[in-house]
Chains A and B, each alone.
Chain A
Amino acid sequence: MLHLILFLFFGAICVAGAVNLLAQSHPIDSALSLVVVMVSLAAEYLLLGAEFVAAIQVIVYAGAIMVLFIFTIMLLNAGAEERTKGSRVAIVLGVPGVVTGAVLVAWTLVHRVNSIQTVSIGALPGDPRDIAWLLFHDFLLPFEVTSVLILIAILGAVVLASRPDAVARRHHDHEAAKPLPELVGAGKER
């Protein structure tokens, strides 16, 4: 019973945050409501017995990724979004389509999924030791591949975010600096 109450409490916070993300017009308000969604989702993970996932949800999502978002919003000095003709078209076409899809998904979930089975706190043997065994034994190759993916993402972010003229100037300086020592050396010999 307590479990259900906690689920409903954090679920309500989660949905309220998601709806608030849509309702706000300023990006920083949307970002803060996304933080609310992520932290309440971490509480839901705890209710499911997934402590490790709850911890990395808070550290990676609510910590690192949201800091990146808020940093970008402040860097670009993003203001409130303006309503345009395109946004009206999107609302007129998008909202009925999404509502239809949502009703279909909800109907399928309620009628097709066997909901007799339940989950409870601590039902999962999800301590970090088991997860580490899976991650570094069964899923070792995907784990290493993700490290390469992260490396490529870092390089891509640096290349994309750096100014193109700054890169060109550095390249030019590098090219120009190369022949100089040879000239100096050649002059000394003569």
Chain B
Amino acid sequence: MVPLTHYLLLSGILFVCGVLGFLIKRNIITIFMSIELMLNGVNLSFVAFAAHWHALSGQIFVFFVMVVAAAEAAVGLAIIIAVYRTRETLNVDQVNLLKL
């Protein structure tokens, strides 16, 4: 038997690692992976609360979060490819214009 707080703490640690990576990383692909890490942390808290309240809706929400993450990954990586094609760099410090 594991208290709910343990799961929420693990979820919080994952989310904080994601935020930290988003802030300190300079590679645009690694920043994108940090966003996926944040989504994973939130998913864990969804499943933990679903088990806690005996409500299956939490798992359905996780399913939708995964769908949105997949769509986001496809579009985001396409944007990264488009940015790389014009700037020829993946460093976000040098990508400071929205214009392609």
Contacts and interface: CB of A to CB of B under 8 A. Distances in A.
Contacts of B85: 163
A142 to B, nearest CB: 6
Interface string B62-97: 111011111111110111111011000011110000
A124 B51 CA distance: 6
A86 B20 contact: no
B74 A154 contact: yes
Interface string B1-42: 111111111101110111111011111011011101100100
Which interface class (under 10, 10 to 19, 20 to 34, 35 or more) fits A? 35 or more
B26 A83 contact: yes
B99 interface: no
Which interface class (under 10, 10 to 19, 20 to 34, 35 or more) fits B? 35 or more
A130 B56 contact: yes
Contacts of B64: 142, 146
Nearest to A147: B67
B30 to A, nearest CB: 5
A129 to B, nearest CB: 11
B75 A153 contact: yes
A173 interface: no
B50 to A, nearest CB: 7
A134 B81 contact: no
B21 A4 contact: no
B63 A3 contact: no
Given A3-B1, A117-B4, A149-B67, 7 more contacts: A50-B59, A65-B70, A82-B26, A102-B12, A130-B56, A146-B68, A161-B77
Interface of A: 3-4, 7, 11, 14-15, 18-19, 21-22, 27, 30-31, 34, 37-38, 41, 44-45, 47-50, 52-53, 56-57, 60-61, 64-65, 68-69, 72-73, 75-76, 78, 81-87, 90-91, 93-95, 97-98, 101-102, 105-106, 109-110, 113, 115-120, 123-126, 130-131, 134-135, 139, 142, 146, 149-150, 152-154, 156-161, 163
